[in-house]
Every structure is written in C-alpha cells, then in structure tokens.
A and B are shown apart, each in its own frame.
Chain A
Amino acid sequence: MDYGFKKKLEPNNGDWAVQASGLVKTFGSFRAVDHVDLNVRAGMIYGVLGPNGAGKTTTIRMLATLLRPDAGSATIFGHDVVKESQIVRQLIGVTGQYASVDESLSATENLIIFSRLLGLGRAEARKKAGELLEEFGLTEAAKRPLKNFSGGMRRRLDLAASLIAQPPLLFLDEPTTGLDPRTRAQMWDTIRRLVKTGSTVLLTTQYLEEADQLADRIAVIDRGKVAAEGTVDELKASVGSSSLQLRVQNPDDAVVARNTIEKVLGIQLLVSQQEAEKMTAPITNVDVVTDVLNALREKGVHLAEISVQKPTLDEVFLTITGHGVQEDESSSPSESQKAKVASV
C-alpha cells in the first residue's frame, strides 16, 4: 500500500494524515490549484490560509475525494484518494464552506440519516444523534426544520454530522466564515477539543487570526500555489524584523528618546501623531534592545511601557503574497493591486 510515496522520508502510514504532491486542478483555462504540495502529520491542526479564490476549497475537495485531481497525487493515511477513494471516505469527515446538511429536514432527522448511511442500526442512529445534539448544544432545536436555524447552529450541526463516524481526519472548509465572534470562539474550542481526542484537522481559513489561534502548521496558498509553509512562528520569523514598541513616561522626553533610538539603531523612526510619547522601531535583532535601553537610561529617559513584538500574520501574509488579504473585496484597491486582481 506504499505506492505513491516519492518523498524523501518514507514514514509509516500512521504518521502522515495527508500527503499531497503536485496537485493540479484546472477549470477551463483557469488553474485553480497549481502544483500544491501538502504534508500533514497525524494529530495536528493544519491551517490552509489564503484569500478568496486562492484554491483552498478546490484543494480540500480533491483531498476529500469530491473532485478528481487533473495531475499529481494525494494520500490520506497512506491511501490514494483516487484509487482507494472508498477507503479514504471511511477515514475522513468533511464540513463544507456551505453547510452540507439537509435544509428541509430537522437536525435529528439529518443526523439519523447520516448515521444510518454510515451503517448504524436504527436504535444506535437515534442514540448517536441524541448524543451529538446534546454535545453541540442543539437539543432544544432538534426537531425544528433547519430553515429556522442560525448560521452558527447550522455549522455546529454540520460539524456534528462530520463526527458521527469519528473520522481520524477532519476537513473543515472555512469553519467560521460568517460567524459572530462568540460563536467563532466556541467553534475554535470545539476544534481544539477534537484534536485532543486524537483527530487530525485540516482547516482552511481566510482569517489570519484563526490560523494563528488554531493551527500548528500553516500553508499560505495564493493563486493556486503554496506561497509559504511552516509553523506560525517560522512564518513570522521568515518575514524578518520584529518591532520594538515603547512609550516614555513624560511626553517632554519624547524628542530626546526618539533621537537616542534613531542614533542607536541608525534609522528614521515613525512617530504617531496622536501620541508623541509612543514609538515603534523595526529591529532585526532583539539584542539591540539592550543597547537602546542603556542609551535611554544614560539620557535619563523613563519608560512607561516596552515590548518586542513579532510581526502579525497579517504582515506575514502581506510580505509573502505581496498583497493584502481582502484585496479582492475592497472597493478601492490601488492601481498595482488592481492589476494583480485582474491577472487572477
């Protein structure tokens, strides 16, 4: 069953939940996914991050046997998604971007039907549906038709339906898009809890914060290609500079402080208009902070606040892809961005 592995490492099948290499999918002349490689170790939360239309959903659909790759290969726990699709389906749960539950039926009916399809007996299916509804806080709404469900309830039901067979690998396609912050936080808790029980989660998101919060590793996808891959910290570090932020106690010291810092670091500082006492300096090496602090003490400047921050994922994303996350939705993109959007 080891065919399809052309990787340097030859791990046993249990180690890797997903191994994909050179995945390609074209729709007409549009290359939605362009040679994507993904390797996801079992037991982790893996985030696929990218803007709308980057190819996240198409990639997931290929890994979940919903779409046939035009080129490349992928295995789920060592099973080929094309040749052993029926085995792969026994190992995965898929929660789609648009809730994949039956609108015309009630929550209980949905879960019972999915349970029955997965081979549970009549009584077992009913029990399982009850348990899942309880666990996802849907018991009260169990009998109502889904038409009256809120977006959050629908997502929860969707996730519950994906968990019936307790699949070792879960695909979550933008699990929190369109949810309010509270429901989003609940969803995050649920996902974290799932991983603790031994599940592997591959999720896509366009929210950097979400990837930051949840994912152990991240692949940044842009225009069908993996633009960067690594742990959150690695990605942040790859962007290079951290930033030193500090605030002086006495606003009168601001000018002295600024001049001192500029002299030590040899750069021009940006100063915020509203708060002159607050300043931010890009640094490549955290060690220089000591020099800055020593110099400030010599000048007798007292500090109210100091912190060294790694760049946010937003900054990482901007650096990696060369454009912002929401550009295709923003109403007035700059000229250069417009040109890029057009080429997508």
Chain B
Amino acid sequence: MRTTSVTSIKPGAERELKNYTSFGQTIRNSLTMAYRGLLKIRRTPEQLFDVTLQPIIFTLMFTYIFGGAISGDIGSYLPVIIPGILVQTVITTSIVTGVQLREDMDKGVFDRFKSLPIARIAPLAGALLADTVRYTIATVLTFTMGYIMGYRPEGGLEHVALAGILVIVCAWAISWIFAFFGVIARTASSVQGISMLVLFPLTFLSNAFVPVDTMPNWLQWFVNINPVSHLVTAVRDLANTGHVGWDLGISLIGAAVIVAIFAPITVRAYMRRT
C-alpha cells in the first residue's frame, strides 16, 4: 500500500452511462468469463479426471460386456456403441458443469461479478463455454478408444470431427439444464442428485446401447421421441456413413429449444438468488 497518488476520479455526473448491455458487450463479457474458466481448469487439472477416465472405462466396459450379446461380436458392435457411449459420456460430463457452477457461485467472487456493469448472463455463459473443453477431451478420448479397439468409421475423419462437434454443441445446450439446477439448488451434491435422476432415463431409454426393436412397444414410443436417440442416430449417420440426415436437424433444433428455454430462466433464477 505505497502512497503513490491515484489519478483523480471523474465525478459520476460527468460520466457516460447506459442502463443496458449491448450484444457485443455480452459476447465480450462471456468470452472473458470463459477465459476465467479455462484459467481455473489450468490451475486445477485434477478436475479433468472424470472426463479422461470415464470415456476410457465406459467404452471398454460397455463394449466387452454388451458386444457379444447384442451384435454377435465386438467388432460389429463398435459402430453402434461408440456413438452411443460418446453421447452418454459427454452429456454426463455436462452435469459437472452444474455442480461446479453451484460451488463457484457460493464464493465471494460472484458478488463482484454481480456488482460489475457486465451482462448478467456472462458469468453463466462463460462457465458453460469453458466447459466445452471438457466435452472436447471426452469426445476425442472416446473416438480414440474406439479406434484402438478396432473401430474404423467409414464416414472418414472429417465426418467424425463433425459428429464430435455436434455432440459438443448439444452437450453445451444440455448443460444449461444442469446450470439451472445448479443455480436453484442449495448444495452442490443436490445438483448432482437431481441431474443424475434426469440424465439416467434420458440416456438409457434411448438407442445408445441396444437396438430399439428389442424393447417393448410402449418403451419404443418414448425411445423414438427421446432427443438423445436422435442425437445418437445423427452421430452414427455422420461417423459410419458420412450421411447428414434429418436426425441431425432434430438434434440441433432440440439443442436450440433447450437453450431458448433454460438460458433465460437460469439467468432469471441467478439474478433473483442472493
């Protein structure tokens, strides 16, 4: 606290003030908050354990457990399971976003974010944006594991990459749901609990692991409208055949709808929370 002089302060009345944040500022604020998220990941790399280990363990486990029963042999199950496990893993990872947001919001620094003249959505959008790094890691590792186990997607590298991006975008959209739980929940562990409860039916009641026609009719009805099924199908089409189909459209529309609903209510809940 050396006593060099601070330049004198401009009185409030002489300042140019506005009572709104422009779209450009919202983007800039969100990117800065995302930068903060990345710095945090760099400082605490151990929080990446789940996204590194889960794809490896799950891919190995599911492939060798279900492979023989469902597709006859491991090799022919891989094109089915890799897209399925990819979607399941990445979406599961997005739960962590909500949990970490809850923990983060309990810290004093969020008071400062709230008192700054920044876009209200920025602290949330930034955190969610930074977490796409986690989804990317999970995506790359899942495909890599598949490749090691003998998966040779016929769509080629560029379509696999597209499929990966599609999953990351959708996971980012879905993370808004968990962010909402994160904002309204009292503790981080309750966020985990609620999110799991939502996520398990969504990922398992889909075509991710087993062919839909083996399920009872009433279940097939749900599985077929489940957006996760559409996402899995879209990834399979892209990776296995390089085909861009209607399922891709449905997945993106679904993602947009989730963001359109959950982003505003999450921000509102965040604003109301003290």
Binds A, one of B7-15, B201-209, B259-267: B7-15
Q: Which residues does chain B contribute within 8 Å of A197, judged by CB atoms?
A: 5-9
* B side interface size, CB within 8 A: 44
Q: Is the CB of A61 within 8 A of B274?
A: yes
Q: Is B23 interfacial (CB 8 A cutoff)?
A: no
Binds A, one of B67-75, B103-111, B144-152, B221-229: B103-111
Binds B, one of A188-196, A289-297, A300-308, A310-318: A188-196
* A–B complex contacts, Cβ < 8 Å, 13 sampled: A17-B12, A67-B274, A94-B111, A94-B112, A100-B109, A104-B43, A105-B43, A116-B28, A116-B35, A117-B33, A197-B6, A197-B9, A198-B10
Q: Which residues does chain B contribute within 8 Å of A223, judged by CB atoms?
A: none
Which residues of chain A have a CB within 8 Å of any CB of chain B?
12-14, 17, 42, 61, 64-67, 76-77, 79, 84-87, 89-94, 96, 98-105, 109, 113-114, 116-119, 134-137, 145, 156, 161, 163, 166-169, 186-187, 189-190, 193-194, 197-199
Q: Is the CB of B39 within 8 A of A65?
A: no
Q: Is B1 interfacial (CB 8 A cutoff)?
A: yes
Cβ proximity bits B174-193 to A, threshold 8 Å, 1 near / 0 not? 00000000000000000000
10 closest pairs, A vs B, by CB?
A77-B12, A89-B117, A100-B112, A100-B108, A198-B9, A14-B13, A94-B115, A168-B12, A90-B117, A116-B32
* Complexed CA–CA distance, A17 and B11 (Å): 10
Q: Is the CB of A96 within 8 A of B112?
A: yes
Q: Which residues does chain A contribute within 8 Å of B7, judged by CB atoms?
A: 166, 197
Q: Is the CB of A135 within 8 A of B2?
A: yes
Q: Which residues does chain B contribute within 8 Å of A87, judged by CB atoms?
A: 17-19, 117
Q: Is B214 interfacial (CB 8 A cutoff)?
A: no
* Complexed CA–CA distance, A114 and B32 (Å): 9
* Complexed CA–CA distance, A13 and B9 (Å): 17
Q: Which residues does chain A contribute within 8 Å of B10, judged by CB atoms?
A: 166, 168, 198
Q: Is B21 interfacial (CB 8 A cutoff)?
A: yes
Q: Is the CB of B112 within 8 A of A161?
A: yes
Q: Is B118 interfacial (CB 8 A cutoff)?
A: yes
Q: Which residues does chain A contribute within 8 Å of B113, judged by CB atoms?
A: 117
CB nearest neighbor in B for A68? B272
Q: Which residues does chain B contribute within 8 Å of A161, judged by CB atoms?
A: 112
Q: Which residues does chain B contribute within 8 Å of A193, judged by CB atoms?
A: 3, 5-6
Q: Which residues does chain B contribute within 8 Å of A12, judged by CB atoms?
A: 13
| Given A84-B19, A89-B116, A113-B36, also A169-B1 (CB < 8 A) | no
Most buried by B among A79, A100, A103, A137: A100
CB of A89, distance to nearest CB on chain B (Å): 4
| Given A67-B274, A117-B29, also A105-B114 (CB < 8 A) | no
Interface SS of chain B: helix, strand, loop or mixed?
loop
Q: Is B49 interfacial (CB 8 A cutoff)?
A: no
* Complexed CA–CA distance, A138 and B80 (Å): 57
Q: Which residues does chain B contribute within 8 Å of A166, judged by CB atoms?
A: 6-7, 9-10
Q: Which one of A67, A113, A119 lies within 8 Å of B35 (CB-CB)?
A: A113
Q: Which residues does chain A contribute within 8 Å of B114, judged by CB atoms?
A: 65-66
* Complexed CA–CA distance, A30 and B19 (Å): 32
* Complexed CA–CA distance, A177 and B34 (Å): 33
* Complexed CA–CA distance, A207 and B266 (Å): 40
| Given A65-B115, A168-B12, also A103-B274 (CB < 8 A) | no
* Complexed CA–CA distance, A85 and B122 (Å): 16
| Given A91-B15, A96-B108, also A64-B5 (CB < 8 A) | no
| Given A86-B19, A190-B1, also A117-B116 (CB < 8 A) | yes
Q: Which residues does chain A contribute within 8 Å of B274, judged by CB atoms?
A: 61, 66-67
Q: Which residues does chain B contribute within 8 Å of A194, judged by CB atoms?
A: 6
Cβ proximity bits B69-112 to A, threshold 8 Å, 1 near / 0 not? 00000000000000000000000000000000000000111111
User: What would 15 more interface pairs be, CB under 8 Å, given A90-B17, A119-B25?
Assistant: A13-B12, A77-B12, A89-B116, A94-B112, A96-B111, A99-B108, A100-B110, A100-B112, A101-B109, A102-B40, A189-B3, A193-B3, A197-B5, A197-B6, A197-B9
Q: Which one of B2, B8, B29, B32 lies within 8 Å of A134 (CB-CB)?
A: B2
